[in-house]
Amino acid sequence: MNYYSLNKQAPNTSFKDAVIKGLAPDKGLYFPESITPLPKEFFYNIDNLSYSEIAFEAIKQFVSPEIPETVLKTIVEETLSFDFPVVELNKNISTLELFHGPTMAFKDVGARFMARCLSYFNQDNTNEVTVLVATSGDTGGAVANGFLGVKGVNVVILYPSGKVSDIQEMQLTTLGQNIKALEVNGTFDDCQAMVKTAFLDETLTSKMQLTSANSINVARWLPQLFYFMFTYKQLHNKYEDIVFSVPSGNFGNVCAGMMAQQLGLPIKHFVASNNENNVVTRYLQTELYSPKPSVQTISNAMDVGAPSNFIRIQEIYKNNFEALKENVSSYSFSDDETREAMLEIYNDYNYVADPHGAVGYLGCKSHLKENPEAHCVFLETAHPTKFLDVVEEVIKEKQPLPEQIQAVMGKEKESVLVSTYEDLKVFLLN
């Protein structure tokens, strides 16, 4: 598959090149040249397919021929080595648990898939790559874990000092080897801006191949469309009108859901659920897109002021505001509302949600007010113990720590403090 830049000022390129570059030379995000819907039989037959088979069929067109089918089968199987259960709370609301991977957030799937693609492209050790990534919380850990020990790949993670949870910080600062963590004196937006500046800095890019492992990278973004298919497999015999409420920050996940829909997956509607960083909620109300600096919330992985993937969503809907509005709603919720929702989910369903999932749950409730017949699935994007302070304070109950979390507790943190872009550059050049 070839990819074009959404800024339309750079040449089209192969999947391999799009993955290695991350961002197009004109700063545009890459987008596939075509999307061919899967045959109807694929969906009729989905009960008989394993998750790996579903994922293989769904992603094949986007990565071939650069990744041969036999290699792709292995990549998909290794990526999906854990479960994706749907838990029904009541006849109108379910949650899709995306936290059963090694770092217990949904980003494990994209990070593991991308790491294996890069590793394949670098099998003869000629393309040493530096993955430079900004994280608002969970990307860092997922990327660190997914890329640990991958030959020919150095990973540099920028995270906002004091604005990620303790467990998130441990997950990205304690691995060593080819993983380096930079602690930025600033916000996630500052981290993201530094990464973008680095990509455009020729004094850097002439010396090293930089790529991104944020959802701007097609190999990180596209595998997220699997989640929506796995949910369909689990629910389609029971519910007809399936709606997804996606807790959104950079809007990669919800945009991947829209790609699943383009592939023919019957999805009734999307709800993009926001915390107070609500540029898209405001856009859908006013048709005015006005990014604002991010504010800190208890759902920190969604503290994004200028969501990178919004432009891909515009492309999917061909910049047609009415078509977008028909298919997507968006709501924004405060931290107080989020805490109340966590408590409600716990009291009413004996289920412990993390703050991001709780925002998704609130999105479902808002949608169901107008559409009482729908079945709304909110994505539980991280395990509640990743946000232990908030969760235990709200539900007033100690949480047992899963194995994956225990494994990083008490390990020694290693990070380098940076304040300016110059600091980052000096670090990279050394």
- Which position among 107, 220, 233, 375 is part of the footprint of ligand PLP (CB under 6 A)? 107
Distance CA 139, CA 159 (A): 10
Q: What are phi and psi of 32, to 5 degrees?
A: -65, 140
Distance CA 175, CA 164 (A): 17
Contacts to ligand PLP from residues 236-255, by CB under 6 A: 247-253
Closer of 180 and 356 to ligand PLP (Cβ): 356
Closer of 192 and 248 to ligand PLP (Cβ): 248
Reference 131, options 212, 192, 217, 208; nearest CA is 212
Closer of 138 and 183 to ligand PLP (Cβ): 138
Closer of 42 and 361 to ligand PLP (Cβ): 361
Distance CA 159, CA 136 (A): 6
Structure tokens at 345: 């989910």
**3-class SS of residue 188:** helix
Q: What are phi and psi of 416, to 5 degrees?
A: -115, 130
Question: Applying CB under 6 A, does 105 fall inside the site for ligand PLP?
Answer: yes
Question: Which of 107, 180, 268, 365 is labelled catalytic?
Answer: 107
Tell me the closest approach of the beta carbon of residue 125 to ligand PLP, in angstroms.
32
Place of tokens 């075509």: 34
**3-class SS of residue 178:** coil
Tell me the closest approach of the beta carbon of residue 371 to ligand PLP, in angstroms.
22
How many residues at the interface with ligand PLP, by CB under 6 A? 17
Tell me the closest approach of the beta carbon of residue 30 to ligand PLP, in angstroms.
16
Task: Tell whether the torsion through CA atoms of 400, 149, 309 and 276 is positive or negative.
Answer: positive
Closer of 89 and 382 to ligand PLP (Cβ): 382
Tell me the closest approach of the beta carbon of residue 1 to ligand PLP, in angstroms.
21
Tell me the closest approach of the beta carbon of residue 23 to ligand PLP, in angstroms.
16
365 noted as active-site residue: no
Give the DSSP H or E segment for 240. none
Q: How distant, in Å, are the alpha carbons of 3, 272, 278, 303, 404 from that of 334?
A: 38, 15, 10, 12, 30
Question: Applying CB under 6 A, does 382 fall inside the site for ligand PLP?
Answer: yes
Contacts to ligand PLP from residues 138-157, by CB under 6 A: 138
Stretch 337-376: interaction string toward ligand PLP, x if CB under 6 A: -------------------x--------------------
Question: Applying CB under 6 A, does 269 fall inside the site for ligand PLP?
Answer: no
Distance CA 341, CA 88 (A): 16
Question: Applying CB under 6 A, does 52 fall inside the site for ligand PLP?
Answer: no
Tell me the closest approach of the beta carbon of residue 335 to ligand PLP, in angstroms.
15
Question: Applying CB under 6 A, does 302 fall inside the site for ligand PLP?
Answer: yes
Do the Cβ atoms of 79 and 223 come closer than 8 Å? yes
**3-class SS of residue 154:** strand
- Which position among 137, 146, 160, 363 is part of the footprint of ligand PLP (CB under 6 A)? 137
Alpha-carbon dihedral 239, 241, 242, 245, rounded to 10 degrees: -130
- Which position among 174, 211, 381, 404 is part of the footprint of ligand PLP (CB under 6 A)? 381
Distance CA 51, CA 80 (A): 8
Tell me the closest approach of the beta carbon of residue 156 to ligand PLP, in angstroms.
19
Q: Which residues bind ligand PLP (CB under 6 A)?
A: 105, 107, 137-138, 215, 247-253, 301-302, 356, 381-382
Q: Residues with catalytic annotation?
A: 107
